[in-house]
A = this chain, B = another copy of it.
Amino acid sequence: MVYVLEAVPNFSEGRDQELVEALAQAGRSVPGVTLLDYSADVDHNRSVFSLLGEPASLIKALLAMTGLAIEAIDMNQHQGEHPRMGALDVCPFVPLSQGQMDLACRTARVLAERLAGDFDLPVMLYGEAASRPSHRRVADIRRGEYEGLEEKLAGPDWPVDYGPQAPHPSAGMAAVGARPAMVAFNVNLATQRLEIAQAIAKKVRGSSGGLPACQALGMRLADRDLVQVSMNILDLDSLPLYRILEMVRMEAARYGVPVLETELIGLAPAQALYDAASYYLQLAGFDPKDQVLEEKLRQGLIN
């Protein structure tokens, strides 16, 4: 087994490029940690990092990064379009192999405990690691943002999981959790009619009666004279890419609109591509662990 997780810490700094680079360096300089990707958004004033490694190495890297962030960021001065409540705003752990969600949850609890102990930071667990159903969604935990945190934590409805039951004076609060691998998947339609993309988005997304693992919006790509169904797939095991694409295609057919192309944004696990290949190629009894050279190789090298 490969005990490797992805961690995706979000920090409330997207303008000070020097600090963003320092955060990246603090993450990648821990042995056993690979910094896959990072980006900072000036409007959001927020940066997002993708780190890979075993739990112990990841925790070491995340503590070093959070230390820097807490030192440099004052949430009382922070402005940005994206909702936020802390210097380390949110950090999910994502399992890279099937059956490792438990490991991701355990790792989230260990990080949360260390953040509370090392920085006196209040931490709520969320997602699959949530300690109660009302804590599952970051959006609920974060509602009211940094400015509303003191009042929120003073009430009875939002007990923290680790640390003090009050905001850190400059770093607010962090949400640490575990979630399945998520991908952004966009379907571009060969039409300029925005209402078609919006109608399809409404039919396929979970919030309006569609597929629970799908978030979707219809939008116009002005520079390309076409419209897009822009989606987040929250759980590729329950909603493979081929199924959501074929569902969009089916709904688009009612308007006589063809699918022009699709886009996968960011990183997807290989399994997402294997699932699509296996479905469309009609492969019987296909198991990547036994039939993909690189998967066999990986087992051979690591076992």
Contact = CB atoms under 8 A, between A and B. Distances in A.
Interface string A17-40: 000000000000000001011000
B276 A293 contact: no
A192 B49 CA distance: 56
B293 A269 contact: yes
B263 A285 contact: yes
Contact of A52 (B188, B281, B286, B297): B297
Interface string A261-302: 111101111101110111111111110100111111110110
Contacts of A36: 293, 296-297, 300
Contacts of A282: 245, 259-262
Interface string A185-196: 000100000000
A291 B268 CA distance: 6
A281 B245 contact: yes
A4 interface: yes
A interface, by DSSP: helix, strand, loop or mixed? mixed
A242 interface: yes
Nearest to A6: B293
Nearest to A34: B300
B294 A269 contact: yes
A273 B266 contact: no
How many copies of the chain does the oligomer comprise? 2
29 contacts: A6-B293, A34-B297, A37-B296, A52-B297, A96-B293, A241-B281, A242-B281, A261-B284, A262-B281, A262-B283, A263-B284, A264-B281, A266-B291, A267-B291, A267-B293, A269-B293, A270-B270, A270-B292, A270-B294, A272-B277, A273-B278, A273-B292, A276-B280, A276-B281, A277-B277, A277-B280, A294-B294, A294-B298, A298-B298
A4 B259 contact: no
A215 to B, nearest CB: 19
Contacts of A294: 96, 269-270, 294, 298
Contacts of A188: 284
A279 B279 CA distance: 12
A177 B118 CA distance: 60
